[in-house]
A and B are shown apart, each in its own frame.
Chain A
Amino acid sequence: MYRSLKGKGMYAQISPTPRELSVCCGVSLLVHGEDVDRIKEISEEENLAYLSISGLNNTFDNTRHKYG
């Protein structure tokens, strides 16, 4: 799916799955909210599988300085 979206010039960022969505440390794609409908269409057209598309209010803050 990443390659397909990037190939269409759409934003997609490979990222770890947020804990709120899964406890498995899996891979997710970070996408723009306004692209979700189009992504669902593309997934159907190109038979691309995904578990779910979810929205979170998380923000990235490079001054939080919490490193785990």
Chain B
Amino acid sequence: MADNQKMWADLGMNLELHDMLCEVLPGAIGDVFMSQENRPAAMDYFDMVLADVHGLRPSELVEFRKNGGKVFGTFCAYVPDEVIFAAGGIATGLCAGSQFWVPGGERYLPANTCPLIKAMLGARFDRTCPFYRLADVYIGETTCDGKKKAYEILGTDVPLHVMDLPQMKREKDYHKWADEIKDLIKVVEETTGNKVTPEALAENIKKINAKRAALQRLYSLRWKENVPISGTDVLLISQIAYYDDPERFAAMVNKLCDELEQRVADGVNLAAGKKRILISGTPMAIPNWKLHNLVETSGGIVVCEETCTGTRYFENFVDESGTNLNEMVQNIANRYMSINCACFTPNTARFDDVVRLFKESKADGVIDVSLMFCQTYDIEGRGLEERCKAEGIPFLGIETDYTDNDAQQLKTRIGAFIEMLG
């Protein structure tokens, strides 16, 4: 255990401040995860990753870098990991889901900025997250105005490349995104010193597709009449997906799914007597487990997340039939452009996704969650509510942040919503 302290010190982290984070996390993990009953045994891998979240994977990245490897930090489901791994790099999500990092971010950003963006800057500038220290280059993207401006500040402290994500979905936008991916290839090639060959890209398209397939399998199992796993546990898995080794992660998710299939066959049902809830909206970066914990201690069970830490991350595969780099890049662009984020206009395809997922997951109601000051999702919530009403889908809209202050009020609202579902 002393090794973690040394590793963090070697990474230039602020140990005193980081210790304060270590102080609160074990209690939160105990309350949210360990208190659950009848969990699948194969959650043990994900429990271990979480228990040593700032030790296990960071130590692997330290070893990787010692051997000359380059780590790329990402913030968004639109950044194509395939390209980074094809250049021999490692992509790792830079989580920003804790209130702990927010005050640090507020030193650089207006208070009325979304908590995810504030946490992003706080984690970097306060030097309290090893992943932020280990990433050699950050890959940003233009998914919202807040992020765009925050990247300008972040870029003063760390090498940063921003991908210009189109905000409409016309044919020329798909080609534009392919061009952005080609620019990313140049960046990863220059950083790693390795060429992205057609063979390597084809191999890594398959590798990341396999990870998507594992997550798709996991979701299809929780959509059964008998729900074999809690939404809180699935959220943790989706969060870990962003920074774990993709092949090991897919293997562990598939191992879990084998057990879940057996639990379904054995009649294990964590949804008995509970209402099935689909959560839509903004991403829930680790350790943001607030909404799932509130829903699942209020008579509900979360059966689907239409979020970036949910279906947006893994739905749709990259077409594997490309025979040269240009075709592969366009296929990658096509897959990522099929994600329906509120940064696009129009974005009614997202409403279609929610309605489809509501049916597929056999949900009883939708809770649409927007992080405070996330303008795009907040505004889009109105249209989603109208669409849900037209489809006869019970809907609750929530705006919240990472603080615990509104937990009891939210619990009252969520409890009333679940009660209303009958």
Contact B23 A17 (CB under 8 A): no
Report A17-54 CB contacts with B as 1/0, cut-off 8 Å. Answer: 11100111111101000000000000000000001000
CB distance from A1 to the nearest CB of B (A): 12
Contact B34 A25 (CB under 8 A): no
Indicate the member of A14, A23, A27, A68 with the most B CB atoms within 10 Å.
A68
Given A17-B26, A67-B290, the answer on whether A28 and B31 have CB atoms closer than 8 Å is no
Contact A30 B1 (CB under 8 A): no
The range of chain B's interface size is 35 or more
- A15 interface residue (CB < 8 Å to B): yes
Contact B51 A67 (CB under 8 A): no
CB distance from A24 to the nearest CB of B (A): 4
- A64 interface residue (CB < 8 Å to B): yes
A2 to B52: give the CA distance in the assembly, Å.
15
Which chain B residues lie closer than 8 Å to A51 at the CB level?
1
- B145 interface residue (CB < 8 Å to A): no
- B54 interface residue (CB < 8 Å to A): yes
Within B21-45, the residues touching A (CB, 8 Å) are 21-32, 34-36, 41, 44
A18 to B51: give the CA distance in the assembly, Å.
10
- B47 interface residue (CB < 8 Å to A): yes
Within A1-16, the residues touching B (CB, 8 Å) are 2, 6, 13-16
Contact B48 A27 (CB under 8 A): yes
A26 to B1: give the CA distance in the assembly, Å.
6
- Which one of A2, A15, A23, A63 lies within 8 Å of B34 (CB-CB)? A15
A66 to B30: give the CA distance in the assembly, Å.
11
Which chain A residues lie closer than 8 Å to B54 at the CB level?
25
- Which one of B19, B26, B98, B288 lies within 8 Å of A18 (CB-CB)? B26
- B412 interface residue (CB < 8 Å to A): no
Report B101-112 CB contacts with A as 1/0, cut-off 8 Å. Answer: 000000000000
Given A27-B52, A67-B287, A67-B404, the answer on whether A22 and B29 have CB atoms closer than 8 Å is no
- Which one of A2, A16, A63 lies within 8 Å of B29 (CB-CB)? A16
- B367 interface residue (CB < 8 Å to A): no
CB distance from B155 to the nearest CB of A (A): 28
A68 to B403: give the CA distance in the assembly, Å.
8
- B5 interface residue (CB < 8 Å to A): yes
- A57 interface residue (CB < 8 Å to B): no
Contact B34 A30 (CB under 8 A): yes
Contact A15 B52 (CB under 8 A): no
A51 to B35: give the CA distance in the assembly, Å.
25
CB distance from A59 to the nearest CB of B (A): 8
Contact B31 A2 (CB under 8 A): no
CB distance from B237 to the nearest CB of A (A): 15
Contact A62 B50 (CB under 8 A): no
Which chain B residues lie closer than 8 Å to A62 at the CB level?
31-32, 35-36, 293, 297
- B249 interface residue (CB < 8 Å to A): no
- Which one of A14, A60, A68 lies within 8 Å of B35 (CB-CB)? A60
Within B85-121, the residues touching A (CB, 8 Å) are 98-100
Which chain B residues lie closer than 8 Å to A17 at the CB level?
1, 26, 51
- B402 interface residue (CB < 8 Å to A): yes
Which chain B residues lie closer than 8 Å to A6 at the CB level?
41
A6 to B43: give the CA distance in the assembly, Å.
13
- Which one of A16, A24, A30, A67 lies within 8 Å of B293 (CB-CB)? A67
Which chain A residues lie closer than 8 Å to B51 at the CB level?
14-17, 26-28
Indicate the member of B24, B26, B36 with the most A CB atoms within 10 Å.
B26
Given A17-B26, A60-B30, A60-B35, the answer on whether A67 and B47 have CB atoms closer than 8 Å is no
Q: Which 4 A-B pairs have the closest CB atoms?
A: A60-B35, A68-B24, A65-B407, A26-B1
Which A residues fall within an 8 A CB radius of B? 2, 6, 13-19, 22-28, 30, 51, 58, 60-68
Which B residues fall within an 8 A CB radius of A? 1-2, 4-5, 19, 21-32, 34-36, 41, 44, 47-48, 50-55, 98-100, 287-290, 293-294, 297, 402, 404, 407-408, 411
Please give 9 more A-B residue pairs, beta carbons under 8 A apart, in addition to A24-B22, A65-B404, A68-B98. A14-B44, A15-B30, A15-B34, A16-B29, A24-B55, A25-B25, A25-B54, A63-B297, A67-B402
> Can you report 12 residue pairs joining A to B where beta carbons are below 8 Å apart?
A13-B47, A17-B1, A23-B5, A26-B55, A27-B48, A27-B55, A58-B27, A61-B35, A62-B31, A65-B31, A66-B27, A67-B28
